Amino acid sequence: IEKFIHNTIIKDDEEWAVFIEDVKKHPNKNDIEDAKNFAQDILNEF
């Protein structure tokens, strides 16, 4: 997937370097908490 994104979406190497640094920060605690809340909301619908 990484190669596909770099070759087709973010082709500029400088932009790619910034993108990769940001990607390395995820998932973080907030992402995990958001995912748990989302899953619970879905389960509560049933």
pLDDT score, position 45 = 95
- CA–CA separation, 40 vs 35, rounded Å? 9
Helix (H, G, I), strand (E, B) or coil at 5: helix
State the pLDDT confidence band at 3, using cuts at 50, 70 and 90.
Answer: very high
The total number of structural domains that make up the chain:
1
Domain limits at 31?
2-44
pLDDT score, position 4 = 97
Task: Enter the pTM of the model.
Answer: 0.65
Position 31, amino acid: D
- CA–CA separation, 42 vs 25, rounded Å? 26
